[in-house]
Structure 1
Amino acid sequence: MKSLHDHALRQPLSDLMHERSLPIYKTPVAVRSWVYLVSDDQRQTETDWVNSLQAGAPDLSRLAETDETTGRIWERHGEFSTWLKYDTDISLSAATKADLGFCRIRTADFDWLTGAPGEVFRSVEISVLPYEPKTAQLQKVIDLTQAVCCDVFDGAARIWSDFRMHEGGAGRIYVQDKGLENDEASRLLQTLIEIGHYRKLALLGFPVARTLMGWLKGAEARLAGLTSDMASQSASQEQLLERLMALSAEVEDRVNAVRFRQGATEAYARLAEDRLVSLRETRVAGFSTMQEFIERRLHPAMRTCEAAARRLDDLSVRIARVSDLLRARISISLEVQNQSLLKSMNVRAKLQMKLSELVEGLSVFAVGYYIFSLVKYMIDPLLDPHLAHLLYGPIIATILVLAWLFIHHRKKSIGHSET
């Protein structure tokens, strides 16, 4: 029988489907989560810190210590890391019902955070109790005037949150367990945590987009002025090209500076929207659903980011078009200059031809005079001077004709050899 060989990624990819889940399968439970923004320079410090917290072979993306009642989890993501602590050792005492289980987990009590590098970007605490609170109890821990309340997971739980920072620097979400079964508590908590994290991370692109909008206004005005000067020909081509190249370099620099943030913002927003859909919300009279609340505030910010990205891309395209026009203008100018140069070269060639013909005529006389001098030198001693003078005329005419025929023949032979 042929042996079976597993692909190297078979088991890792299978484990990937389960590694992000929270090991929480019962309520009551209190959960506290932190998001730390960690720069590339701080990653090695973080790795060293996490390695000091665990024994054995280190995992560079996740660290979890859990038991029957409590647990601590660290996870590394692209530009941030999350730290989480939960506690299921909660009784439905009068004190628990009074504060609805909040403030049980504090930052000062979470020793893993002592050496955690980075900056705290978000923190949230979630309390899950099988208890329907009174309005007065909720008002003490959550501002109900602007709160979100809805049933989720097809009515298996009800959530309240006001999306505000409370005591201890954390937001609060209260979850009433109305019949969560199997891993629904784990999935609900994971979904609520991720919605908040990704929503907040998506908003990192909003200040960048607003700053970019201000710069784009000036850059578009510069391009409009450059285009106007090119149309009116009020500036030289060298000046226009220099200004266009400077603007193009600035645009590419901005593209490189904001491209990552634009892509990350879009990805975070989509993840938040996907998690909102998975809540399967049902409206509670008098309150907004979580999806309505988040979309009402998140979508305008995302539209601003998208508009800034479109304007930046449009500016780059417009600069490319103006650059093509300027290159065409320069090309036409060079062609006109070349035509003028060819015309002047043609005029000079014709002039040289006339000069050559003049020189040719003079050379006939020069050659004739030189040959006649030689012939005269040979004839004078042999003939009578009177007779010699009679022969000079025909000799000169013959010499000139022969010289002209020789030069004309040589010129034609040279022309044929060049072709």
Structure 2
Amino acid sequence: MMSPSDHNLRRTLSDLMHERSLPIYKTPVAVRSWVYLVPDDQREAETAWIDSLEPGEADRWRLARIGETHGSIWERHGEFSTWLRFDNDISMDAATKTELGFCRIRTADFDWLEGAPGEVFRSVEISVLPYEPKEAQLQKVIDLTQAVCCDVFDGAARIWSDFRMHAKEDKLGAGRIYVQDKGLENDEASRLLQTLIEIGHYRKLALLGFPVARNLMGWLKDAEARLAVLTSDMASQSASQEQILERLMALSAEVEQRVNAVRFRQGATDAYARLTEDRLVSLRETRVAGFSTMQEFIERRLQPAMRTCEAASRRLDDISTRIGRVSDLLRARISISLEVQNQGLLRSMNVRSKLQMKLSALVEGLSVFAVSYYIFNLVKYIIDPLFDPHLAHLIYAPLILLIVGLAWWFIHQRKKSIGHADA
């Protein structure tokens, strides 16, 4: 009896469910994450750079081991890569409480990252401590006047963040999120950190589409004005159909070029915005008096930018549709013009055909007399030597009538046979 065989994707898809989880299951912990935008043409260089690390380093960067007090993780995504470092070896001494665990992992500790392909797009540091800070302590590391604060995971933790880059002792600067552990259990610390990191990453990546949308809006205003002028010229017939068609084709080509240029960014922006919304929901936030929740803060700033991107996308699709409608109208007008020209041509051909038939009938009549004349002369050569001239003249009259009648009958029959053959 044959044993069942595994599908070749069974284990891969099973492991996929655990691939993105962070190996962090206890607090206190400090985490620092970087996002690098890496163009497609630098992906091979990135792989080679990772593989060039010291023996064993490449695997260490690809996956941090559970239970380590220090770890680093590198992940490759569609258009970016992320680097993460965490430190679980934190004692709750006075210095830690003063700084609330920030600046523990600095860019200087990652100075070797300067050789990594791509550009730094975002950096954030998150400190998770089982310590409730005083307002004065928080104010030193986070601007509470514009901060968000809320309980998450059904009250298991409380977070603070001002969404600003803090450059103290860090030339690149990084955002800061302070998390008070109020009873995180099992893998909640890992899931909370992963969610907070992804919210920040996806939020900022979604905003990449905003400058593109603003530039597109400016071009769309000009393109829509050109289309309006073109439509007006077509309605008033102030320009020839050939000129209108040439201008319409040029505008249509520009629109297609814009569609090809921005379609990826529009789709990516929409996807990142949806991911941000999904992660915000998974926080299960509870309001803290006097502060906005993270969802309120992000949506208040992210949604207007996303609406602008959506409006630009709709207007681009709309102008493409309008150009299609104008093209249909222009084709209909050109088609009608061609039909009118064809009808005129057919009428002129019909007139010429009738004239040709009249000329043909005239030629036919003349040809009867011409043929009769030649036949009569031939017969005359035969009759003159055989008969008396007076008698011959008496024969000529009926002979001429007979020859003309036979000639007409012969030509008429040939004409009928040719007509039947054509049919």
Q: Shorter-chain TM-score category?
A: over 0.9
* Matched residues, number: 417
1:34 corresponds to: 34
How is 1:58-97 mapped onto 2 (pairs within 5 angstroms)? 63-66=62-65, 68-97=68-97
Deviation of 1:214 after TM superposition, in Å, equals 0.6
2:387 aligned partner, one-letter code: L
Distance 1:383 1:179 in 2: 148
Deviation of 1:115 after TM superposition, in Å, equals 2.0
How is 1:5-404 mapped onto 2 (pairs within 5 angstroms)? 5-53=5-53, 55=55, 63-66=62-65, 68-110=68-110, 113-167=113-167, 168=170, 169-404=173-408
Asked whether the 8 Å contact 2:208–2:269 carries over to 1, the reply is yes
| Structure 1: 5+ residue stretches without partners | none
Asked whether the 8 Å contact 2:34–2:122 carries over to 1, the reply is yes
> Secondary structure in 2 aligned to 1:211?
helix
Cα deviation, 1:161-214, whole Å, max 9, x if unaligned, reads 000000221000000000011110000000000000000000000000010011
Deviation of 1:58 after TM superposition, in Å, equals 7.2
Distance 1:153 1:356 in 2: 102
Asked whether the 8 Å contact 2:23–2:64 carries over to 1, the reply is no
Deviation of 1:402 after TM superposition, in Å, equals 0.8
1:344 aligned partner, one-letter code: S
Cα deviation, 1:13-67, whole Å, max 9, x if unaligned, reads 01111111100011110000000000011111100011123657978xx712446
Cα deviation, 1:217-276, whole Å, max 9, x if unaligned, reads 111111111111111111111001101100110101100000000000000000000000
Q: Compared with structure 1, are the counterparts of its residues 54 and 404 closer, same or farther at alpha carbon in structure 2 (3 Å cutoff)? A: farther
Same amino acid, percent of matched pairs: 84
| Structure 2: 5+ residue stretches without partners | none
2:283 aligned partner, one-letter code: L
Distance 1:367 1:384 in 2: 26
* TM-score, normalised by the number of residues in structure 2: 0.96
Distance 1:366 1:55 in 2: 113
1:154 aligned partner, one-letter code: D
> Secondary structure in 1 aligned to 2:35?
strand
Deviation of 1:2 after TM superposition, in Å, equals 3.8
> Secondary structure in 2 aligned to 1:317?
helix
* TM-score, normalised by the number of residues in structure 1: 0.97
Higher mean Cα deviation, 389-398 or 120-129? Answer: 389-398
Distance 1:382 1:68 in 2: 142
1:142 aligned partner, one-letter code: I
Q: Compared with structure 1, are the counterparts of its residues 225 and 35 closer, same or farther at alpha carbon in structure 2 (3 Å cutoff)? A: same
Give me the CA root mean square deviation: 1.3
